Chain A
Amino acid sequence: MAHLATAPGARRRRARERLRVLGFLSPWLIGFTVFFGYPLIATVYFSFTRYNQIQPPSFVGLRNWTYVFTQMPLFGPALWNTLWLVVVMVALRVVFGLGTGLLVTKVKTGAGFFRTAFYLPYLAPPVAATVAFVFLLNPGTGPVNDALTALGVPAPDWWGDPHWAKPSLVLLSLWGIGDLMVIFLAALLDVPKERYEAAQLDGAGPVATFRYVTWPAITPVVMFAVVTGVVQTMQYYTQALVAGKLASGVSVGPGTPVQPGYPDHSTLTVTQLVYSLGFQHFNTGAACVLSLVLFAVAMAAASLLMRGRAGLLGAEDRP
């Protein structure tokens, strides 16, 4: 019947089809425009203005941009800390996640128990986990330093020492490795059994088996874990902020302006700097410049995520 349809009928059907697509997409079309499109444009605009959120914004050209990149004292430390966390945290999390995933595949007795035990900390709400770790690593009352002292190991002042604060955050993030462990576990269980049997027949040892059988099969998942890890770590905020605030020992409720990044700006991240500039110092222009820097990095990560074998776009949607 289709070929007999008159042209106006076909057009009407196509119009109806388009309307239907629009209807289904409408929540997101509105959301995307209002909660993403508008604020992004406004952020670009504010980045060229001086604006204290009381008087109307006044245009200052590139002044905020040059201020952030050449003069702002905290930009350097914030960028350095964020990069440090992105490199160290992501690398260690991938290694540790793969390690725990492998371990669960090797365990013969109590695999279910170990899987749950390894996974559970991932579920701890970040604020609660951070409070717990501030306590656990606390030099005076925490059990970790007592244990270290008992073993004769010099115990660091974890959250209070600028050299140890970021490693403490990494430790906290390794405790919550559950998400990566499950992803790696699924990938490891997907490797065809015959390949392992073939490797065994060839007399391959465990290292050679991992190198030539396991690794090639799971590389896409490793790449995926790295890119999503970079995306997450770039946004790193809650744990660093809460740990810094609690460790500083300043007895203040949330909302009270505190210089973020205790000790010595060693836990200050770019996201915290956006908050501090925009909501404590009301330097909207500089905060928006930093927002756009984050935006650029996020978009670079997003384009990596969509590419390649491990890309998030299905085969039919790839260019």
Chain B
Amino acid sequence: MKRGRVLHWIAVHTVAVAAALFFTLPFVFVLLTSVMSDDQAMSGELWPRSWHWSNYAEVLRTPGFLTWWRNSLLYAGLGTLFTVCSSLPVAYALARFRFRGRRTALVLVIATMTLPPQVVVIPMYLVWAQQLHLSGTLWPLIVPLAFGDAYSIFLLRQFLLTIPAEYTEAARLDGCGELRTLLRVVVPMAKPGIAAVALFQFFACWNDYFGPQIYAAQNPGAWTLSYGLESFKSAHSVNWNLTMAATLLVMAPVIAVFFFAQKAFVEGVTLTGVKG
């Protein structure tokens, strides 16, 4: 029995280590290549003969790279702020109010959630580009987020449903208006849910490629990191070391945020699951 346990432990952990290698080695190889010399990066060697951390400085000095960084922050930062502020009241209404058409509204929210952005992009692009003359900027991507985002509305609603109705009832009996109840009672209790939704939206904007491709392509001054990275690779097609350094610089903020906000993140992922 005891020997069986030991064998079981060894088997499980061997598989786990193999899986961990599959998940982590790509990061390691990217990191190692990013500090190689130009010549070595073109060879098949794995370990850097000399460590060129200056590659990172060179990437940051590349014209445009810092602008893309700023644009990504602008898009993700403002986008997240707008999304949370506009989605929260909608989610609250869908979670707490009883009104005719509530089910229909919920069905429509879920339907828009599953919709590929490509479905409605052409007429939207024509409005932004031909009527509002805002192509070449990120505003066509940021402004719509001030009008609720289906995915965030849905996640927030799921979270708000877990807050016992007694709290909001008590606030109401104390003569608190609905908006005050939302801001003073619900928001403090819903912080984990709001944090998760904010993180998801931040990453969705940070990772977005299709949006900037549609609206910012003509103007390199409006590119984001996710979009510019591809052109970086194209321009440095032989310099795998610089490309890998740039790749890590695009990954780094997301992974740093994850380590600071791990709990909110995992909570958010499970929230997307079945919690009907």
Q: Which residues of A contact B (CB under 8 A)?
A: 17-18, 20-21, 23-25, 27-28, 30-32, 34-36, 38-40, 42-43, 46, 53, 100, 103-104, 106-110, 113-114, 116-121, 123-129, 131-136, 138, 140-143, 146, 175, 178-179, 182-183, 186-187, 220-221, 224, 228, 231, 234-235, 237-238, 241-242, 245-246, 249-255, 271, 274-275, 278-279, 284, 287-288, 291-292, 294-295, 298-299, 301-302, 305-306, 310-315, 317, 319
A132: min CB distance to chain B, Å? 5
CB within 8 Å for A254 and B19 given contacts A221-B274, A235-B117: no
A272: min CB distance to chain B, Å? 9
Decide: B276 and A298 in contact? CB cutoff 8 A: no
What DSSP secondary structure best describes chain A's contact surface? helix
CA distance A228 to B16 in the complex (A): 27
B95: min CB distance to chain A, Å? 9
For A146, what are the chain B residues with a Cβ–Cβ distance below 8 Å? 44, 46
CA distance A314 to B73 in the complex (A): 36
Decide: B107 and A121 in contact? CB cutoff 8 A: no
Q: Which residues of B contact A (CB under 8 A)?
A: 9, 12-13, 15-16, 19-20, 22-24, 26-27, 29-30, 33, 41-44, 46, 86-87, 89-90, 92-94, 97, 99, 102-103, 105-127, 130, 144, 146-148, 153-154, 161, 178, 203, 206-207, 209-210, 213-214, 217-218, 223, 225-231, 233-235, 237, 240, 243-244, 247-248, 250-251, 254-255, 258, 262, 266, 269-270, 272-274, 276
CB within 8 Å for A27 and B87 given contacts A136-B29, A317-B103: yes
Decide: A35 and B115 in contact? CB cutoff 8 A: no
A160: min CB distance to chain B, Å? 15
CA distance A284 to B124 in the complex (A): 12
CB within 8 Å for A274 and B120 given contacts A18-B99, A311-B276: no
CA distance A135 to B246 in the complex (A): 13
Decide: A27 and B148 in contact? CB cutoff 8 A: yes
B148: min CB distance to chain A, Å? 4
Total A-B pairs, Cβ < 8 A: 299
Add 7 more A-B contacts to A118-B20, A255-B218, A313-B107 (CB < 8 A): A20-B97, A34-B147, A35-B147, A46-B122, A136-B30, A141-B240, A278-B122
Decide: B97 and A24 in contact? CB cutoff 8 A: yes
